[in-house]
Structure 1
Amino acid sequence: MSVSGTFDCVTKSPMGDQKSVVTIVDNGDGTFSGTNAGAMGGMDLEDGKVDGNTLTWTMNMTVPMPMKLEGTATVDGDTLTGSVNAGAFGTMAMTGVRQG
């Protein structure tokens, strides 16, 4: 099962549940690219790495404040489970379900 896909995600943030659509494109060489599109705009998934079914990436948030976020997730079938580290704001749980 490929890690590629589009996932309806929810991140448990200090400001409440943040819904977003995460798109993952496996480049086939241990890296991936993608986007995280939510109510506050979209962010590119940068430095994406694939290790089996585990993904790691960074995102540069601009709204509501500039911040570098570090994400990690595991894709198991049609489910994505992981977290986003928001520095001083701590780690936020993230879950998603593949669209389709």
Structure 2
Amino acid sequence: MANVDGAWNVVVKSPLGDQQSVFTVASDGSAFTGNMAGAMGSLDVEDGKVDGDKLTWKMNLKVPMPMTLDCEATVSGDAITGSAGAGAFGSFPLSGTRV
């Protein structure tokens, strides 16, 4: 099990307010799968990549409008920090702790 694996309680600070969810990560070499499940539903990780303690991935958001989020995060012990990029809407901070 890599240091990035597990479940994370995360918060994305979006224009619609704080979006709380559980982000699950299961790495396999330089790739990972998982999802982010919260009040607005569950989003699957697409094109998940692992580089040491750094994760990059995409998610296809459907609510409140269809868009692809470009995400990145770094794991440091039991903390995760990063961002979710929403194209023309900007980039939103993401942070959390291991469950």
Q: TM-score range by the shorter chain?
A: over 0.9
Deviation digits for residues 50-74 of structure 1 (CA, Å, limit 9, x no counterpart): 0010000000001111100000000
Unaligned runs of 5+ in 1: none
Could you tell me which runs of 5 or more consecutive residues in structure 2 were left unpaired when the two chains were aligned.
none
After superposition, the CA RMSD in angstroms is: 0.8
Aligned match of 1:92:
92
Q: What is the deviation of 1:89?
A: 1.0
> What TM-score results when the alignment is normalised by the length of structure 1?
0.95
Q: Secondary structure at the match of 2:63?
A: coil
CA–CA separation in structure 1 for the residues paired with 2:40 and 2:51: 29
2:82 match:
82
Q: How big is the shift at 1:87?
A: 0.8
Q: TM-score, normalised by structure 2?
A: 0.96
For these two proteins, the number of residue pairs brought into alignment is 98
Cα deviation, residue 88, structure 1: 1.4
Q: Quote the residue 1:47 is aligned against.
A: 47
What residue identity is the alignment partner of 1:21? V
Partners of 1:91 and 1:61 in 2: how far apart? Answer: 14
1:70 corresponds in structure 2 to: 70
Off by >2 Å, runs of 4+ in structure 1: none
Distance in structure 2 (CA, Å) of the matches to 1:54 and 1:81? 10
In 1, Cα distance between equivalents of 2:84 and 2:8: 15
